[in-house]
Structure 1
Amino acid sequence: MSAAIYSITENRASAMDFSEPVYIDELTVGYVRPILQSDMMGFLKPYTDEMWVGIMLGVLSISVSIYIIMQAQRYIAGIHNSMYTINIPHVTGIPWFPTGNSGRVVACTWLLMAFILSCVYRSNLMAMLVSPKVQLPFSSLEELAKTDITLWVPAGSRFHEALTAASPTSTIGRVKKNTFLSANGLQGLKGYQNGQWSLITYKGPLTYTLHRDFSQQVITLIKLPIISFPITQHGYCRFYIMPEGIFKVNLLSLGFPKNSSLKPPVDKIIRNLREFGIIDHLFQKQVSNATECLKPLGYEIERAKKALALQDFYGVFSIYLAGLVLSLASFLLELKRCVHQ
């Protein structure tokens, strides 16, 4: 009888007999959990690129509309119409207001639009700062195939067999270019823990690695002269499991030589343990701390306070600096012109 459980495949079934399924599991991929980082262009994220283009087109169209209306009323608006349109969203002083009913209707419409846009922008920006979102490197095998992340595959596994038989245009076939095949399980686990590659195996063992890693992060020993005891601190999860599994139903069983007399009594024991829920209970008991790492990404961020770093303001500072440079250049040009006059 084998000392470990194996997934039942056609090749293995032809060489040995398998017991009643001890556990039913799915293949999945584990990888380093992304962390929240400062975003230099975060001030642009409240709106999409299409929305920013629409706002710019709106500013341009309103400026042109006011200019046309003022020209029709024989009023020389000059640069006032453009400055009026731009100053409204920035909540700056407005030294000039369009005259006539037509110009005022257009101006008031833009006032209302600018008020709505600014309120939505501030609300979205505040929501992003309070509850930031972190994107997973991949959440399915299709997304993994589009990245350059190395996938460690155990040699002789069910996924290795599927990888060998897959066509180059299939999802599994497209992953093949990034795979690293090895029979050294310890090497695969170390590379996974060091962030060197992603690891494909059954969800149960990956869940156990999450439990072990989380437990090592949160348990600390307090040593006193007479006694030492462990305390639990606020831990964190360094890894995550791909939400979408592969080969959803995998029967994991014990292996026996063909026509072994041990198979019937072992089948009866496994069947009783499974029907009474003892196997599931023992498994959940061994992975109790993994539940924190299996929660949706961003859950622990929502509970924590988001402190703004200096890098979060680099984008705004760069625009402010560009404005200062343009203002200084304009001032120097005006000064030069006045000297020549």
Structure 2
Amino acid sequence: MTEARARVAAFSRPVIIDPLRITVRRGKPKQGLWNFLKPLDWQVWVGTVLAVMLIGAALGLFIVTPWTRNTGSSGSLLRQALYQLWDQIATFLGQGMSYIPPIDSSRVVVLIWLMAAFVITRSYQGALTSLLAVREIPIKIDSIEDFLKAKEFTMIYETSTAFTAYLKNSKTGIFRKLHEANVAGRGQFINMNKMPEALDKKVRKGDFAILAEDLTIKMLLSDDFSRTGECDFHISRERFFPLILCVAGNPSLPIMRGINYRIQKTVEHDLYGQTLRRNANNGTSCLQPVTTITVNEAYDMESLKGLFYLLCAGFAVSLAVFVIEVLHWCGRKAI
């Protein structure tokens, strides 16, 4: 139903209100680059780093206090804090402590820290083992905004619909951007009877998407699942531009009142919905496909490459620091 059509035709009661959605091919499972960081939330990581720094500074302060100078410790507060910081990092990674606090107050601090470190490390180890076995299935397009950003995709529409007419007349907003993308060659318009072929031959390749009514997409995926037995497509979570589906006729048609009465009874008893569900035998098989899968196989470089990237970055930083130390030593020797 559109304003232009309402001028020349009479419309019945709505049979159904059906929003538009987008369907694309599901991505292939892959490992995230930084999966080894996912067992802990970023707030936990930040809190752990701050705790290590605070413990190092506190123990360094305990060491340089006057009543502990007879323990053999020497050096400034900064130097002692750095020593203790290194010691607590080693403890957090499962190594032994090289320094035993001489006074009870500092020992209480270390005891609490060791208990917290034990809980954090054990929780991390258990969750890491599970996450490394998980493969994420990426979703490239879940909204119109995603489609506009994915320049490699082309959208397939049903030709001569209320939505395509609205796109041509839109002046601002995301629908205007979508129309501009179509003008730039990222849109194809086909008849409804060509949709199953487009889903199988184009969308399945991975660089096409279909924008259609929710019921139309479910029927297409139902037929595809009945034929292949696979859930290869993803339906966007975003719903937009709800379409009012009804019966259109001549304004002078005398039976429109009877049509409205029968449509009302059909809707009240959900006869239309039951008919759709009966025709789409597998309509619900692929509505909520999994977004992650679990595998039982040896860890490969793809699973742990983020950790090796971090290791290489650490080597690069240590090399830079070593060069600075050498240059500093050579400068002092020359003086």
Q: Which range, TM-score by smaller chain?
A: 0.7 to 0.9
User: What is the TM-score when the length of structure 1 is the normalising length?
Assistant: 0.71
Match of 2:238 among 229, 235, 244: 244
2:283 counterpart residue number: 290
Q: Which amino acid aligns with 2:238?
A: E
| Residues 181 and 313 of structure 1, relative CA distance in 2, 3 Å threshold | closer
* C-alpha contact 1:129 1:306 (8 A) present in aligned 2: no
| Residues 270 and 174 of structure 1, relative CA distance in 2, 3 Å threshold | same
Counterpart CA distance in 2 for 1:306 and 1:11 is: 59
Matched, 1:313 2:301: no
Q: Which amino acid aligns with 1:315?
A: G
Counterpart CA distance in 2 for 1:21 and 1:108 is: 70
* C-alpha contact 2:31 2:135 (8 A) present in aligned 1: no
* C-alpha contact 1:80 1:96 (8 A) present in aligned 2: no
* C-alpha contact 2:24 2:141 (8 A) present in aligned 1: no
Tell me how far 1:274 sits from its aligned partner. Answer: 4.2
Match of 1:121 among 121, 124, 127: 124
User: What is the TM-score when the length of structure 2 is the normalising length?
Assistant: 0.72
Tell me how far 1:157 sits from its aligned partner. Answer: 2.4
Please say which of residues 311-320 and 282-291 is displaced more in the overlay: 311-320
| Residues 319 and 21 of structure 1, relative CA distance in 2, 3 Å threshold | closer
Counterpart CA distance in 1 for 2:29 and 2:166 is: 35
1:224 counterpart residue number: none
5+ residue gaps, structure 1, are 1-7, 219-235, 331-341
Counterpart CA distance in 2 for 1:309 and 1:80 is: 36
Match of 2:202 among 184, 191, 197: 191
> In the TM superposition, what are the counterparts of 1:113-262 in structure 2 within 5 Å?
113-126=116-129, 128-129=131-132, 134=137, 136-142=139-145, 144-145=147-148, 147-148=150-151, 149-168=153-172, 170-179=173-182, 180-185=186-191, 186=194, 189=199, 190-218=201-229, 236-248=230-242, 250-257=243-250, 259-260=252-253
Number of equivalent positions? 301
Tell me how far 1:271 sits from its aligned partner. Answer: 5.2
Tell me how far 1:26 sits from its aligned partner. Answer: 1.5
| Residues 264 and 113 of structure 1, relative CA distance in 2, 3 Å threshold | same
Match of 2:7 among 10, 14, 20: 14
Cα deviation 1:129-148 (Å, max 9, x = unaligned) = 56666564354445555554
1:52 counterpart residue number: 45
Secondary structure at 2:17 match in 1: strand
Over aligned residues, Cα RMSD in angstroms?
3.7
| Residues 33 and 308 of structure 1, relative CA distance in 2, 3 Å threshold | farther
Q: Which amino acid aligns with 1:160?
A: T
2:27 counterpart residue number: 34
* C-alpha contact 2:154 2:188 (8 A) present in aligned 1: no
2:329 counterpart residue number: none
Tell me how far 1:268 sits from its aligned partner. Answer: 6.1
5+ residue gaps, structure 2, are 323-335
Tell me how far 1:284 sits from its aligned partner. Answer: 0.5
Secondary structure at 1:30 match in 2: strand
| Residues 135 and 270 of structure 1, relative CA distance in 2, 3 Å threshold | same
Cα deviation 1:73-110 (Å, max 9, x = unaligned) = 22148675233201222112334322222432332232
Counterpart CA distance in 2 for 1:282 and 1:265 is: 21
Counterpart CA distance in 2 for 1:122 and 1:141 is: 39
* C-alpha contact 2:167 2:175 (8 A) present in aligned 1: yes
Matched, 1:106 2:109: yes
* C-alpha contact 1:211 1:288 (8 A) present in aligned 2: yes
Q: Which amino acid aligns with 2:60?
A: Y
Cα deviation 1:202-256 (Å, max 9, x = unaligned) = 00110011112222222xxxxxxxxxxxxxxxxx4111212231133x2223444
2:333 counterpart residue number: none
* C-alpha contact 2:22 2:142 (8 A) present in aligned 1: no
* C-alpha contact 2:26 2:138 (8 A) present in aligned 1: no
Counterpart CA distance in 2 for 1:308 and 1:213 is: 34
| Residues 208 and 119 of structure 1, relative CA distance in 2, 3 Å threshold | same
Tell me how far 1:178 sits from its aligned partner. Answer: 3.7
Cα deviation 1:29-59 (Å, max 9, x = unaligned) = 2222234312232101223445434433332
| Residues 308 and 184 of structure 1, relative CA distance in 2, 3 Å threshold | farther
